[in-house]
Amino acid sequence: MTLPIEEGAVERAEGALLWSPSPAFARDSRLAAFMTWLRETRALDFADYDALWRWSVDDLETFWDALRAYFDVRFDTPPRTVLERRVMPGAQWFPGATLNYVRQVFRHAGTGDARQRPAIRHAGEAQPLADISWDALEAQVASLAHALRGMGVGQGDRVVGYLPNIPATVVAFLATASLGAIWSGCAPDMGQVAVIDRFRQIEPKVLIAIEGYRYGGKAHDRAAVVADLVAALPSLTDVVRVGAGGGIHPAHPNHPSPDPAHRTDRPTPPLPAGDGRVRWHDWDATLAQGVAQGVTLTPTPVPFDHPLWIVYSSGTTGMPKPIVHGHGGIVLEQLKLLAFHADIGPDDVYHWYSSSGWIMWNAQVGGLLAGATIALYDGNPGWPDASVLWRFADAARVTIFGAGAAFFTGNMKAGIVPAEVADLSRVRAIGSTGSPLPAEAYAWIHRAIRDDLWIAPISGGTDFAGAFVAGCPLLPVHAGEMQCRCLGARVEAFDDAGQPVIDQVGELVCTEPMPSMPLFLWGDADGKRYRDSYFDMWPNVWRHGDWIRITSRGGAIIYGRSDATINRHGIRMGTSELYRVVEELPEVLDSLVVDLEYLGRESYMPLFVVLRDGHTLDDALRATLCARIRAALSSRHVPNEIVQVPAVPRTLSGKKMEVPIKKLLLGHARDKIANRDAMANPESLDWYFAYADRFADRAETPEMR
pLDDT tens readout for residues 619-647: 999 999 999 999 988 888 899 999 999 99
How far is CA 243 from its chain centroid?
26
pLDDT over 50 at 137, yes or no: yes
Q: What SS3 string covers 496-560?
A: CCCCECCCCEEEEEECCCCCCCCCEECCCCCCHHHHHHHCCCCCCCEEEEEEEEECCCCCEEEEE
| pLDDT at position 15 | 61
Beta bridge partners of 274: none
- The yes-or-no answer to whether 9-100+311-561 and 575-704 have a common fold is no
Within a 10 A sphere around the Cβ of 528, how many other Cβ atoms? 10
| pLDDT at position 255 | 37
For the ranges 228-232, 256-260, 329-333, 349-353, which has the lowest average pLDDT? 256-260
Q: Are 470 and 45 in contact (CB under 8 A)?
A: no
CA separation for the pair 616, 587 (Å, rounded): 9
pLDDT tens per residue, range 493-507? 998 889 999 998 889
Q: Are 261 and 297 in contact (CB under 8 A)?
A: no
| pLDDT at position 14 | 53
User: Among positive and negative, which fits the CA dihedral 299, 304, 305, 308?
Assistant: positive
| pLDDT at position 245 | 60
Reported as a pLDDT band with limits 50, 70 and 90, residue 578 is confident
| pLDDT at position 653 | 57
pLDDT over 60 at 705, yes or no: no
Q: Which residue has the higher pLDDT, 467 or 598?
A: 467
**How far is the first Cα of the chain from the last one, in angstroms, to the nearest whole number?**
23
Query: Span 316-335, mean pLDDT?
Result: 90
Reported as a pLDDT band with limits 50, 70 and 90, residue 651 is confident
pLDDT over 70 at 65, yes or no: yes
pLDDT tens per residue, range 262-301? 344 445 677 876 668 899 999 999 999 998 999 999 999 9
Give the angle subtended at the CA of 35 by the CAs of 29 and 36, to the nearest 5°: 90
Given phi > 0 = left and psi -120 to 50 = alpha, else beta, which region is 459? beta
Q: Which residue has the higher pLDDT, 421 or 406?
A: 421
Contacts of 292 (CB under 8 A, 6+ apart): 251
Nearest to 569 by CA among 411, 429, 415, 445: 411
Given phi > 0 = left and psi -120 to 50 = alpha, else beta, which region is 32? alpha
Nearest to 592 by CA among 603, 578, 604: 578
Percent of residues, the chain, with pLDDT higher than 70: 90
CA separation for the pair 117, 105 (Å, rounded): 14
| pLDDT at position 700 | 53
In words, the CATH class of domain 130-300 is alpha beta
pLDDT over 80 at 118, yes or no: yes
pLDDT over 90 at 518, yes or no: yes
Q: Calculate the alpha carbon distances from 240 to 151, 219, 437 in Å.
A: 11, 21, 40
| pLDDT at position 267 | 56
Query: Span 600-626, mean pLDDT?
Result: 91
Containing H/E element for 124? strand 118-124
| pLDDT at position 318 | 60
CA separation for the pair 296, 692 (Å, rounded): 63
| pLDDT at position 295 | 97
Assigned fold of 575-704? GMP Synthetase; Chain A, domain 3 (3.30.300)
| pLDDT at position 274 | 64
Q: 120-150 burial string, b = 16+ CB within 10 Å, else e?
A: bbbbbbbbeebbbbbbbbbbbbbbbbbbbbe
Query: Span 321-336, mean pLDDT?
Result: 98
DSSP secondary structure, 588-655, as one string:
EEEEEE-----TTPPP--EEEEEEPTT----HHHHHHHHHHHHHHT-GGGS-SEEEE-S---BBTT--
| pLDDT at position 194 | 87
Query: Which one of 3.40.50.12780, 1.10.10.10, 3.60.60.10, 3.40.50.2300 gives the CATH number of domain 9-100+311-561?
Result: 3.40.50.12780
| pLDDT at position 468 | 98
Beta strands 373-378 and 400-404 are unpaired
Q: Are 596 and 662 in contact (CB under 8 A)?
A: yes
Beta bridge partners of 610: 590
pLDDT over 60 at 596, yes or no: yes
Give the angle subtended at the CA of 212 by the CAs of 208 and 218, to the nearest 5°: 150
pLDDT tens per residue, range 372-398? 999 999 999 999 999 999 999 999 999
How much is the pTM? Answer: 0.85
pLDDT over 70 at 96, yes or no: yes
Contacts of 54 (CB under 8 A, 6+ apart): none
| pLDDT at position 190 | 86
CA separation for the pair 236, 224 (Å, rounded): 17
Beta bridge partners of 521: 323
| pLDDT at position 234 | 97
pLDDT over 80 at 460, yes or no: yes
pLDDT over 60 at 186, yes or no: yes
Residue 700 CB burial class (10 angstroms; 0-12, 13-18, ≥19): exposed
Average pLDDT, the chain: 90
- Listed by start position, the domains of the chain span 9-100+311-561, 130-300, 575-704
Percent of residues, the chain, with pLDDT higher than 90: 72
Beta bridge partners of 510: 491, 542
| pLDDT at position 323 | 98
Q: Which residue has the higher pLDDT, 592 or 260?
A: 592
For the ranges 118-127, 567-576, 694-703, which has the lowest average pLDDT? 694-703
Query: Span 90-117, mean pLDDT?
Result: 93
Residue 516 CB burial class (10 angstroms; 0-12, 13-18, ≥19): buried
Nearest to 313 by CA among 600, 633, 608, 573: 573
pLDDT tens per residue, range 243-265? 866 654 433 333 333 333 334 44
Q: Which residue has the higher pLDDT, 520 or 410?
A: 520
